Structure 1
Amino acid sequence: MENSGKIFSINISAKKGIPKTPVKTARLIENFGIEGDVHAGDQTRQVSLLSWENICRHPKLKPGDFAENITTAGINLKKMKIGDKILIGEKAILEITQLGKECHSGCVIQKETGKCIMPKLGIFAKVIKGGGISTGSTIVKI
């Protein structure tokens, strides 16, 4: 796990506070996020990322259960810093905007999973350059 990896799963949802549904492909839209996802918009947390290596420690959980948009494999997200950029596939670029998050008391995900790992292990990004992505696409820190 270093500076490169791949997309293990792409996950989207139409509503907030629910696990996301895996999809094979998606479109990242510049300054917006993932097309069709509720968290997309003009803000700094357009896309969320969480590693499969952390999710699989919870045997009953699967990609999207922590409401992450992109489940990664192989790349060390814990080494990312705010301002770092990652290239996904051939042309999509994300810029890291936030490390972790504060869980609110009514968090549906925390109630369903027992413990949400997004506050410590999730990262958030904005789309600097859009493009198509798919399961298996490469992820490289640039």
Structure 2
Amino acid sequence: MTVRWNPQGSTVVSVSQSSRHNFSKDQVDSVLLVEGLGVDGDAHSGTTVQHLYKMRSNPTQPNLRQVHLIHAELFDELAQDGFEVRPGDLGENITTRGIDLLHLPEGTLLHIGPAAVVQVTGLRNPCRQIDRFRTGLLKAVLPRDSAGKVVRKTGIMGIVLAGGLVSVDDEIRAEVPTGPHRRLKCV
């Protein structure tokens, strides 16, 4: 499994949070990641699932979606297609640049800033709310590859293994697990 990196390093472009279950999150100067919970003060923080749709089916399942990360390169790509999307607009907590999030294997450890560690659990599965935000955006973030397979571009999810403050311009270092690698699935 090949993961592409920016030779100048991978960084945090923006951090966002919201205490409410709304679609977009507010950009802030920094977020505090809390071990085993997620982003302090965020509606999706908790040991059990906090996603409203998933709570309806089984509210006791573990929260594999404590932190949502999206690559800023997606926003660049969407802008070329005529969509204006800014950090936090799609509900992510951390916007990155220089790391190929979508091709990280399951279990990758992301060391973010001086202390925080997020373990990658899977892909975010975008829903119809994206089209309510920008008409036609769902199709743009769920294209098909040359083999006809759907490609989910709306970032990855993870759990917090080590807490810490995460701020804009913090460095991100990925620690890919030893093989065999498992491709990310929706969580």
TM-score by length of 2: 0.69
Distance 1:101 1:31 in 2: 22
Unpaired segments of 5 or more residues in structure 2? 48-62, 143-150, 176-187
Q: Does 1:111 align with 2:132?
A: yes
Work out which of the two has the higher radius of gyration on C-alpha atoms and give 1 or 2.
Answer: 2
Cross-structure match for 2:78: 58
| SS in structure 2 at match of 1:78 | helix
> 1:46-89 CA distances to partner (integer Å, 9 max, x unpaired)?
00000001012333211111111111011111221111111001
More displaced stretch, 46-55 vs 73-82: 73-82
- Of the three residues 92, 95, 115, the one matched with 1:91 is 115
Alpha-carbon separation, structure 1, partners of 2:45 and 2:37: 5
Q: More strand by proportion, 1 or 2?
A: 1
Inter-partner Cα distance in structure 1 for 2:104 and 2:131: 24
Amino acid at match of 2:68: S
What amino acid is aligned across from residue 78 of structure 2 in structure 1? H
User: C-alpha displacement at 1:131, in angstroms?
Assistant: 0.6
- In 1, distance between residues paired with 2:173 and 2:131? 30
SS at 2:152 equivalent: helix
> Gapped runs of 5+ residues in structure 1?
none
Normalised to the residue count of structure 1, the TM-score between the two structures is: 0.89
Map Cα deviations across residues 77-108 of structure 1 (whole Å, 9 max, x no partner). 122111111100111100011123152x4x2x
Identity, % of aligned pairs? Answer: 31
Distance of 1:140 and 1:65 partners within structure 2? 24
Q: Deviations over 1:96-136 (max 9, x none)?
A: 11123152x4x2x3311232438812100000000111011
- Higher RCO (CA 8 Å, separation ≥ 6 residues): 1
* 1:2-23 deviation per Cα after TM superposition (whole angstroms, max 9, x unaligned): 1750000001112123211101
Aligned partner (choices 127, 131, 138) of residue 160 of structure 2: 127
Matched residue pairs, number? 139
Distance 1:98 1:134 in 2: 23
Moved over 4 A (4+): none
